[in-house]
Amino acid sequence: MAIAKAERLMNLALCLLGARRPLSKRELRDSIEAYVEAVRPESGAAGSDDSFNRMFERDKDDLRELGLVIDTVENLDGEVGYLARRDSNRLPPITLDAEEAAALGLAAKVWQQARLAGAASGALQKLRAAGLPEDVDPYEVHGALEPRIPVHETAFEPLMLACRDRRPVLFEYRKASAARPEPRHVEPWALECWRGHWYLAGFDRDRGAERVFRLSRITGRVRSRGTGFTAPVPDVVTVRETVASWAGEIADRSALIRLRTGSGYPLRAKATKVRELGDGWDELEIPYGHGLDAWLVEFGPDVVVLEPAELRADVVDRLRAVAKG
């Protein structure tokens, strides 16, 4: 249905843009195949004409909403015609200075390792044709810079398209504390790269709340599920801030741990207090935020959580999940 409507709108726009004089409803109806189908007498000619009129009015409004300027002209006989004048629908010339061209070049180079490389290169070619200064090479202005955003996860492309098309998805997701993946039904909002990892932010339908997913933990194929979102999309999706909070970058409490002497130097660097206990152990007070349990597990038997109790329980759960494989 969506493809048929898009094709109908495109045909209507081409007819209006290509006409040298205003076209009446009757002429447009006879020129576009989708309208011809709409007026075929199945339930009576009058019903068919009504169907066409409703369809045409909706299509005309949709094209105007998309930005096409459609003029309504009445001829000497009182018949109304429609025309999309080319001079009214021509975009202004594109002007870019050297710094703007350099920024676009760097943006295109970022995606050279991803499936968007072709689209990025094509966009620059179109900008050159539209007026990009000939003496500016967007790839070489800052040639010493080699930005890269690696995209190794197979889930990236289908999720990127789902975010663009506002299409719900279903995938298997394994949390760091879980031994097995579980299905997640998500309305995807935005993708963002943070510290070398890609994350998806969206509305988790099963949990009825916003969630952030790390793409490397998505297993299997990303599948589309239905159309339309059930939850409003926020104006600003703070993926990095959410991930930073979950990773313990934003701490609002303190935790007390025992750390084996001579180990865990990253933990010692964050510690606000350190006390020697003897017998090869030290006691540390460190900032406690969401995700600290996942970090502490990486130090294995060199760390023992003393308090709070919920942090200790989370670390024990993660270690059990690791032990189960």
pLDDT digit string, tens, across residues 119-131: 666 666 666 665 5
**By the 8 A CB rule, do 191 and 159 touch?**
yes
Residue 293 gets the label, from left (phi > 0), alpha (psi -120 to 50) or beta, of: alpha
**How many domains would you assign to the chain?**
3
Does 260 lie in the same domain as 296?
Answer: yes
Domain boundary at 217, 247, 277, which? 247
The answer to the question of residue 199 being in a domain is: yes
Residue 130, C-beta contacts closer than 8 angstroms, at least 6 positions apart: 93, 94
The answer to the question of residue 136 being in a domain is: no
Does 110 lie in the same domain as 176?
Answer: no
Task: Record the tokens describing residue 21, joined without a space.
Answer: 């004089």
Residue 92, C-beta contacts closer than 8 angstroms, at least 6 positions apart: none
Does 2 lie in the same domain as 126?
Answer: yes
Does 234 lie in the same domain as 167?
Answer: yes
The answer to the question of residue 275 being in a domain is: yes
Mean pLDDT over all residues of the chain?
79
pTM for this model (two decimals): 0.47
Does 17 lie in the same domain as 98?
Answer: yes
The answer to the question of residue 142 being in a domain is: no
pLDDT band at 141 (very low <50, low <70, confident <90, very high): very low
- Please indicate whether residue 149 or residue 204 has the higher confidence score (pLDDT): 204
Average pLDDT over residues 274-295: 87
CA 72 to chain centre: 39
pLDDT band at 66 (very low <50, low <70, confident <90, very high): confident
High-pLDDT (> 70) share of the chain, %: 74
Does 191 lie in the same domain as 269?
Answer: no
Q: How far apart are CA 141 and CA 188, in angstroms?
A: 36
Write the DSSP string, 68-99: ---EEEE-TTS-EEEE--GGGSPPPPP---HH
The answer to the question of residue 240 being in a domain is: yes
Per-residue pLDDT at 319 exceeds 80? yes
| Degrees, nearest 5: CA angle 6-3-63 | 10
Residue range of the domain that includes 219: 155-247
Q: How far apart are CA 167 and CA 226, in angstroms?
A: 7
Q: How far apart are CA 306 and CA 174, in angstroms?
A: 28
